[in-house]
Amino acid sequence: MLTQTRTGSLLHQDHMRTIDVLQAIQEMTHRHPSAPAVEGAVRADLERLADTMRAEVERHFGFEENHLFPLFSKQGEMGMVVMLTHEHRAILPLALEAADLAAAALAGGFEETGWRNFRDVAAELVEREIFHIQKEEMGLLAAIAALLDPAADAALSEAYRMAVGGEAGE
Ligand SMILES: [Fe+2]
Ligand SMILES: [Fe+2]
């Protein structure tokens, strides 16, 4: 999709990275009907999941809620802001739970019950978060392009860089 603003393209890059990780986790859980050994590709997928979910919660959601959504509320886009914020509230605990379960498995492996629980949490997270990202990709990025002038875009993408805290991504 076409992203015409710097801010939109930064968010878009985050979205694509997150979808990548979620799809890898989905495929991994489908490949293993019973608890896999936490090594090799399984280990790598869990590490990426733990890292990405914490980053998503701590800075991406935070940036959207603290910097972007207030601008849209001021422009009268309350409906979109309320809907996306509600989705964040539903996804955030799932993302943290998935990250915690992944971290625990990285430290101590999976037992069958723990594996089933992880698969359930991951499946719900994948479904909700991919749907949320698709909505933002369709609505939010277009709204950013329509509502931000170049100066506001520059200020916002700078705020994003500050929120990211110098960690330039992979
Ligand atoms: Fe969001
Ligand atoms: Fe987003």
Residue 85 CA: which ligand is closest?
A: 1
Res 135: pLDDT: 93
> How far away, in angstroms, is 35 Cα from ligand 1 center?
31
Measured in Å, residue 15 CA sits from the centre of ligand 2 at 6
CATH topology of domain 6-163: Four Helix Bundle (Hemerythrin (Met), subunit A) (1.20.120)
Cα–ligand 2 centroid distance for 24 (angstroms) = 19
Write down the domain spans for the chain.
6-163
Handedness of CA 122, 89, 47, 131 (dihedral sign): positive
In tens digits, the chain (170 residues) has pLDDT values of 455 899 999 999 999 999 999 999 999 999 999 999 999 999 999 999 999 998 777 789 999 999 999 988 988 889 999 999 999 999 999 999 999 999 999 999 999 999 999 999 999 999 999 999 999 998 888 888 888 899 999 999 999 988 775 544 43
Contact 12, 151 (CB under 8 A): no
